Structure 1
């Protein structure tokens, strides 16, 4: 689930927090970094389990309504298309989801079932829901299309849900869009087959976790040394006026040049330019690109930043 850009962003945020706190407790902030990555998995599992909870709550409501003494004709003979949605039923059957929720002790919806009720209300008030119930076509493809639109148009942008989760997860504002985009992508690729869906692991490869931790350590243990790589080579910029975020991004990029020989220089530069565009000042990407480009072109650094592997520079 977490790609290298996500990991670089997590490292950036952790370094920034450590510097702002004026702490030298590397072990403490390594734990902070690991926790921030784990939070993304928790949010992912919670959002996936929301589908299950929504379907289950609606099914319970239907059963209670049937037994009412003065039940309406619609309550006695309800439209069951939503609770019989094949995609929602498949998600409810995923043992991996149940196991990982249990392992992480994620009982959030049990303690905040009002959030599920908000979502159900928003879903049932939508034209999307009404059109789906009235559509006589029943197929896996139609069920999947509905679930995808329900998530994209109703669940993910729900303001009440956002505010509730923000109170419980400090990184929610940054992580929520990333997780939702990932889930939407999963739902779109699920069209390849009803049995193609599997929950994503937190790391695509265990090497990714090691990469994040090693990058964090290399930057913090060599912070002043990394800064010296460019502080005398930026005559047009006063070091004291360079934004802290830009200094961290430069140090991270140079750490990759020096200590991660398998990562191509172009990949490193492009990654940090994209992060700068989104998380730093408007001109940061131009500044960072100028500094890094100048560094990699010097004869001395062409040797020092040498990469190993076919086609790496």
Structure 2
């Protein structure tokens, strides 16, 4: 699950923290990097378990309504939502259950929030359409939760605030992790039952190696990379650059030089996007120009055995 987008974000954060920390120990910083990455995987599991928590709240309310209907001799409420096949399969998932057993805090600790989310869902057109639809199969049940997740979980300020309370590591992770939750929903297959595999923490050891090598190259070769920036800045006073700009370019140069298989256009574009989020409004354009200049210089001097593709020729 942990991909290079998440890794780049974490390395920007941890590199910045490394230089702010008076005790600059790279081994300690590397451990913090991998701990931070593991927390992104925790968030993935927490968001999947949110579906289970909402379903359980619906079941609790359903039981109250059923008891009332029995007492009054009135029509029994529909159990379609509480019997959603996808949600029940997720609830019984062995991997998710094992993860939740290790957590000190669960969604059961936030009953008001879960109750409010269910009420919002219950009042939505998505819910009403589902309850009124005669189609009743696993695919429709799974599609319901894909729609509900996109509508009520992806863009939810209350949820964002609550997650920030739970872990400071999750501040910048959710947008990326949301895409993996949606991918997981799509991949669920009824025949797999409670043994349906969730996404692994890492797709391969290659991603771990990428994180370790990029972080270490960024720190260990900092002076060399900053010298390249100074040369490329020409008419700019390097000392007046935003500190985060320097960090972002330092990591980008490390990726250019350390990973021959990653195209230059990918590296430049990815770090320009990070600059839009982490630095000043003018940083993205400046960093784009600087990295382009540095890459061309490294190619011309034989230090970089890559080529600028058409997207890089501005």
TM-score range, shorter chain: 0.7 to 0.9
Please give the per-residue CA displacement for 1:239-261, whole angstroms capped at 9, x wherever unaligned. 11111111112111221233333
Distance 1:61 1:216, change over 3 A: same
Instruction: Determine the structure 2 residue equivalent to 1:86.
Output: 85
Q: State how far apart, in whole Å, the 1-side matches of 2:120 and 2:97 are.
A: 26
Distance 1:254 1:157, change over 3 A: closer
Normalising by structure 1, report the TM-score.
0.86
Normalising by structure 2, report the TM-score.
0.86
Instruction: Select 2:139's aligned residue among 138, 141, 147.
Output: 141
How many residue pairs get matched? 304
Instruction: Determine the structure 2 residue equivalent to 1:115.
Output: 113
Instruction: Determine the structure 2 residue equivalent to 1:296.
Output: 295
Which segment is superposed worse, 200-209 or 112-121? 112-121
Which segment is superposed worse, 204-213 or 158-167? 158-167
Return the offset for 1:8: 0.9
Instruction: Determine the structure 2 residue equivalent to 1:311.
Output: none
Is this contact kept in 1: 2:6–2:173, CA < 8 A?
no
- 1:24-43 to 2 correspondence within 5 Å? 24-43=24-43
Q: CA RMSD in A?
A: 2.6
Moved over 6 A (4+): none
Return the offset for 1:19: 1.8
Please give the per-residue CA displacement for 1:182-222, whole angstroms capped at 9, x wherever unaligned. 323443x448x545863111222122122112211221122
Q: State how far apart, in whole Å, the 2-side matches of 1:6 and 1:275 are.
A: 11
Is this contact kept in 1: 2:12–2:248, CA < 8 A?
yes
- 1:67-216 to 2 correspondence within 5 Å? 67-68=67-68, 71-73=71-73, 77-102=76-101, 104-105=102-103, 107-187=105-185, 189-190=186-187, 194-195=190-191, 198-216=197-215
Q: State how far apart, in whole Å, the 2-side matches of 1:81 and 1:69 are.
A: 16
Distance 1:283 1:69, change over 3 A: closer
Is this contact kept in 1: 2:49–2:96, CA < 8 A?
yes
The alignment partner of 2:233 has SS state of: coil
Please give the per-residue CA displacement for 1:140-162, whole angstroms capped at 9, x wherever unaligned. 23222221121111233333332
Return the offset for 1:67: 3.5
Distance 1:281 1:57, change over 3 A: same
Is this contact kept in 2: 1:119–1:155, CA < 8 A?
no
Unmatched tracts of structure 2, length 5 or more: 307-314
- 1:209-228 to 2 correspondence within 5 Å? 209-228=208-227
Instruction: Determine the structure 2 residue equivalent to 1:261.
Output: 260
Q: State how far apart, in whole Å, the 2-side matches of 1:276 and 1:257 are.
A: 17
Unmatched tracts of structure 1, length 5 or more: 308-313
Which segment is superposed worse, 80-89 or 167-176? 167-176
Please give the per-residue CA displacement for 1:262-296, whole angstroms capped at 9, x wherever unaligned. 43333322322232233322332322222222223
